Structure 1
């Protein structure tokens, strides 16, 4: 498999995970998106740890796709804030629903990949 095809496949998986964690569902009767991260945070510490592990996988994939250390550090910062604040009962659940760390990290990764493209070509 070519490097470009491999990166495209990785990015699709990262997009699917970010969607699952941050926006896959809607709070009934509203337009507010919620994902597994917000739902899991109802179970203090354990739920946030599970969501944090999935966020770590997303960052690992960004590393494997060649993201720079600066971008990876920003992604780790987003995930860290999400984990720490998200672990606070009640307030953390509301924060998890609003902050969307994985969607932020996906945007960082896409911006990074776009900057990595050689002039006049499209990587993904």
Structure 2
């Protein structure tokens, strides 16, 4: 995979994470929310949809051939957020504070940056 493809996948991951976790500022605060926080307000199904959307970043990691350990860590992160979402009020706060998608995008970017740059495909 060439560097342009890697950069495209990282950019897609970052854009999705931003949309889901921090696209808008709550007026009068410094808190940012995204679609994840809004969708998470829907009972039961909202947390499921949120988790499915978060898998987009895991998919990008898979396409980049990230190690299994990183992918499992990202999936565990999504699972934890899903479980927290099942708790009324706590789950809604967790959607705003935990930011699983930004966390996963950060992990992916950090992993890519740590790889040797030998330009192998």
Q: Which residue of 2 aligns with 1:89?
A: 88
- Assess if the C-alpha contact under 8 Å between 1:41 and 1:87 holds in 2: no
Q: Which residue of 2 aligns with 1:29?
A: 28
**Structure 1 position 87, deviation (Å):** 2.6
Q: Distance in 1 between matches of 2:106 and 2:41?
A: 26
Q: Which residue of 2 aligns with 1:64?
A: 63
- Assess if the C-alpha contact under 8 Å between 1:55 and 1:102 holds in 2: yes
* Structure 2, gaps ≥5 residues long: none
**Is 1:105 equivalent to 2:104 in the alignment?**
yes
Q: Which residue of 2 aligns with 1:18?
A: 17
* Structure 1, gaps ≥5 residues long: none
Q: Distance in 1 between matches of 2:68 and 2:117?
A: 20
TM-score normalised to structure 2 length? 0.91
**Structure 1 position 66, deviation (Å):** 1.5
What per-residue deviation string (whole Å, max 9, x for no partner) do you get for residues 6-62 of structure 1? 121111111100001111111121110111111111102211111111111210111
CA RMSD of aligned residues (A): 1.5
Report runs of 4+ in structure 1 exceeding 2 Å deviation: none
Q: Distance in 2 between matches of 1:27 and 1:75?
A: 27
**Structure 1 position 3, deviation (Å):** 2.4
Number of corresponding residues: 119
TM-score normalised to structure 1 length? 0.89
Q: Which has the higher contact order (CA 8 A, sep 6+)?
A: 2
